[in-house]
Amino acid sequence: MPLPKSIKQYLLITGNYWAFTLTDGALRMLVVLHFHQLGYSPLAIAMLFLFYEFFGVVTNLVGGWLGARLGLNRTMNIGLALQVVALLMLAVNPAYLTVVWVMAAQALSGIAKDLNKMSAKSAVKSLVPDSAQGKLYKWVAVLTGSKNTLKGVGFFLGAGLLVTLGFQIAVTAMAGVLAVIWVFSIFCLQADLGRAKNKPKFRQVLSKSRAINILSAARLFLFGARDLWFVVALPVYLSSTLDWSHWQVGSFLACWVIGYGIVQAFAPTITRRRSGHTPGARSARSWGIALALTVGALAAAMEFGISPGVTLIVGLALFGGLFAVNSSLHSYLIVSLANRDSVSLDVGFYYMANAMGRLVGTLLSGWVFQWAGIEACLWLSTGFVVVAAVCGGLLPSASEEKADCQPQDSN
């Protein structure tokens, strides 16, 4: 029996997203470990990702508008093509891998990643009717969870490729594989996916919805909290303080992200009430509080020097599970609340806030770790999570959300 068209398109989008995520995770680990090996300081490594995160902010803001006007298939394929170019830029002779050159390549990669992610998340809204909120939650959770699981596999792959093939050959091989997938996507992805009936004006990229603005603020602080320790501080701490090898660092981070992705995929089972109702503002607040308590306890344990290695492994496992539920819950809420005819505008604005949080978290990760250590990173992360939980508590009720998210007058 042939699959319905919506299922086929969902599988194509998910496969496209998977392939991109695998190379993105591998590239992140390759850059961190390779340049740490070359003697770069934690702050210098963080600076390599500055344009990656900054252009992610710009891309999400503009990309949602482009997706509504051009179609999400085009923005997704543009993202794939840019990632191929970014990988090839890093495959040059090592003598040309200056900080400026690597930052430029990372800028392209940041644009590519957020075009691809915004397109994938927005496209799901177009494939599911408004009456099927439970189905929408499951599809978003599976897409998000599987993406993060593969990102973890990408970390493992990046560390392995660095050890076995070296930096240049590794990025060249990934570019070749992704180019093949890009060609396949051009011919198979639905042409009118997510295109708005009325072409939105550029000024509409800024959300007019109170619920989406609040949820975007929560997302900014949530992902800032994660990247405060995860991007630079944790891998450098494991390598320099605990004396872990590159392979051990890559494997640990890979396992963490894989587990995080698995929990995300099962978030609907974890958060939905017995009545079968999909979660809302109360769930966002309560899960945010649980995460804040966990990261605060982890920071305190590290501050008092309680078996740092064991504390990090156990504490980050708990943090990862709770963070996964929070992230998946937020991802569902933004897709659910977005206006169907211009879904990419709302989702793009939301992921702009997500990218801003990553940018702030990445910079603070290198700076705070270099001057005050991983304990300070974790304490600051605790504060960020508290703000995210407070924002979750400010979300409108279900009836207010419905009224707040009606289509806006575009005149």
- Provide the sign of the torsion angle of the four alpha carbons 166, 169, 173, 174, taken in this order: positive
Tokens representing 9 are: 């398109």
Structural domains of the chain, ranges and CATH numbers in brackets: 5-404 (1.20.1250.20)
**Which residues make Cβ contacts (< 8 Å) with residue 249, sequence separation at least 6?**
33, 159, 235, 238, 239
pLDDT at 381: 94
- The confidence score (pLDDT) of residue 211 equals 80
- Distance, in Å, from the CA atom of 322 to the CA atom of 326, rounded to the nearest integer, reads 6
| CA neighbor of 133 nearest in space, from 343, 18, 280 | 280
CA pair distance 252, 231, nearest whole angstrom: 13
**What is the DSSP code (8-state) at residue 272?**
S
Token pair, residue 369, equals 């770790």
How confident is the prediction along the chain (411 residues), in pLDDT tens digits per residue?
455 565 666 677 777 778 888 888 888 888 877 887 777 776 777 777 778 778 877 787 776 667 666 677 788 888 889 999 999 998 888 777 787 888 888 888 888 887 887 777 666 666 666 556 666 677 677 776 777 777 778 877 887 888 888 888 989 999 999 999 888 878 776 655 555 555 555 555 555 677 888 888 899 999 999 988 887 888 888 888 888 887 787 778 778 878 878 887 787 777 764 335 566 667 788 888 999 999 999 999 988 888 888 888 888 889 988 998 898 888 778 777 666 555 667 777 787 888 889 888 988 888 898 888 889 999 999 999 999 999 887 876 544 444 444 444 433
Number of separate helices (H) and strands (E) present in the chain: 16, 0
CA distances from 90 to 47, 101, 325 (A): 16, 8, 35
Neighbours of 274 (CB within 10 A): 5
What pLDDT does 382 receive?
A: 94
List, in order, residues 6 or more apart from 1 with CB less than 8 Å away.
Answer: none
- Cα–Cα distance, 75 to 72 (Å, whole number): 5
Give the Cα separation of 380 and 153 in Å (integer): 28
| The predicted structure's pLDDT at residue 115 | 82
Could you give the C-alpha distances from 236 to 41, 95, 131, 223, 253, in angstroms and in order?
9, 24, 47, 19, 12
Q: Is 4 helix (H, G, I), strand (E, B) or coil?
A: coil
Note the residue count of the chain: 411
3-state secondary structure 180-233: HHHHHHHHHCCCCCCCCCCCCCHHHHCCCCHHHHHHHHHHHHHHHHHHHHHCCH
